[in-house]
Structure 1
Amino acid sequence: MLSSGKIPKKKIVIFASGNGSNAENIIRYFNKTDNAEVLAVFSNKRSAKVLKRAHELKVKALHFDREALYETNEVLNVLKDLEPDLIVLAGFLWVFPAKILKNFPNRVINLHPALLPKFGGKGMYGMNVHRAVIEQKELETGISIHYVNEKYDEGEIIFQATTPVKPGDSAEDIAEKIHELEYEHFPQVIEKLLFPSKND
């Protein structure tokens, strides 16, 4: 049988719990390429703005509850049907279940708004992280992109980027700097993971 020579697009699925600005940035980034696409956005919050963002960008938007994620195989079965090359956690606040990690080994990554192993773990997300950075008088902070395991923020680190913390910076100031790093680097790291041979 003759091949058309067209390489199938790599498939990305995003999990998010809130606003979804990183999810939107990733969707828009890959919409400009012809080698990968975001197939679906999953959220554990029905009211999460990320679902609206996905819908507006014509990406499948799916809501689920704890039972569907942890107790039944509902979310797992949808993921098996989608067959993603990479599952991206972009502001997803629940521990990711072991059964999904087992089915998608080394294919689940997370973005954390600090320089792990500092300021990681349960409850360390969003403004909680930035306030802790100020309280500890850190001179720099940044982002960490890492593989996901069964514990919060403890998987192998893939990439980090830093930004200085200046005297007088508020948690809101730091949040803005972190968002800039996230928007710049997260899609690029995803692309490098999907296409490692292009970066040799």
Structure 2
Amino acid sequence: MKRVVIFASGSGSNAENLIRFFQNRDNASVIQVLTNNPHAKVLERCKKLKVSALSFNKTALTDTDDVLNILKSNQPDLIVLAGFLWKFPEKILKAFPNRVINVHPALLPKFGGKGMYGMHVHESVVANKETETGITIHYVNEHYDEGAIIFQAKCEVLASDTALDVAEKIHKLEMEHFPLIVDKLLN
């Protein structure tokens, strides 16, 4: 059975979607969720879903090997960043080469980079009068949103769309495609 560890920073809707997707499968399961936010809603979701969840601070991620050692003990086949807002450390990327992926709420390379997450992305899409946007699932490397692209899905942006409208469309794409791509990568 393949093992998945998820990193999240916020509400955890993508994490919950992935957990539920793999709950009744015999090929893989989400074994743990790690968060850098001790107040993140993802912790509540994990408790309800009976999935191990831990929060950590910046020191544990970057200055010590605490998070790296947790990952090494879990031996994940795939590490999934689902709304994780901190830059991922190179030491973890080196320990798990080509096994760390992220979902980004835009069609990279557009609207990627430091500070481009969540509503910041959707507001930029609307402000730039884009006619389409989407999601990008990509490998994580040492630079924000620059890893090799695995998959993209698009949606139309109407002239009347607000950033909230765009966010809703992106959320639907994530819910539909993210678990399927994770499943495909595990097999």
Q: TM bucket by the smaller chain?
A: over 0.9
Aligned-partner Cα distance in 2 for 1:154–1:55: 33
What's 2:25 paired with?
A: 33
Q: 2:99 aligns with which of 107, 129, 132?
A: 107
Residue 79, structure 1, aligned to residue 59, structure 2:
no
What's 1:15 paired with?
A: 7
What's 2:133 paired with?
A: 141
TM-score after normalising by structure 1: 0.93
Output one character per residue of 1:77-129: Cα deviation in whole Å (capped at 9) or x when no partner.
01000000000000000000000000000000000000000000011000000
Secondary structure, aligned partner of 1:110? strand
Output one character per residue of 1:155-177: Cα deviation in whole Å (capped at 9) or x when no partner.
00000000000121010101000
Residue 55 of structure 1: CA displacement? Answer: 1.3
TM-score after normalising by structure 2: 0.99
* % same residue: 66
Residue 52, structure 1, aligned to residue 41, structure 2:
no
Residue 22 of structure 1: CA displacement? Answer: 0.3
What's 1:198 paired with?
A: none
Residue 162, structure 1, aligned to residue 145, structure 2:
no
Contact 2:81 2:103 in 1 (8 A): yes
Residue 32 of structure 1: CA displacement? Answer: 2.4
Q: Structure 1 residue runs of 4+, over 6 Å off?
A: none
Alignment of 1:116-131 (within 5 A): 116-131=108-123
Rg (Cα) greater in structure: 1
Aligned-pair Cα RMSD in Å:
0.5
Aligned-partner Cα distance in 2 for 1:67–1:28: 31
Structure 1 residue identity aligned to 2:10 = G
Residue 181 of structure 1: CA displacement? Answer: 0.3
Structure 1 residue identity aligned to 2:9 = S
Aligned-partner Cα distance in 1 for 2:20–2:93: 26
Aligned-partner Cα distance in 1 for 2:43–2:142: 25
Structure 1 residue identity aligned to 2:11 = N
Structure 2 residue identity aligned to 1:20 = G
Structure 2 residue identity aligned to 1:136 = N
Q: Which runs of 5 or more structure 2 residues have no equivalent in the other structure?
A: none
Q: Which of 1 and 2 has higher RCO (CA within 8 Å, sep 6+)?
A: 2
Aligned-partner Cα distance in 2 for 1:63–1:107: 21
Secondary structure, aligned partner of 2:184? helix
Residue 72 of structure 1: CA displacement? Answer: 0.4
- Count how many residue pairs are aligned between Structure 1 and Structure 2: 187
Q: Which runs of 5 or more structure 1 residues have no equivalent in the other structure?
A: 1-8, 196-200
Aligned-partner Cα distance in 2 for 1:180–1:71: 36
Contact 2:16 2:46 in 1 (8 A): yes
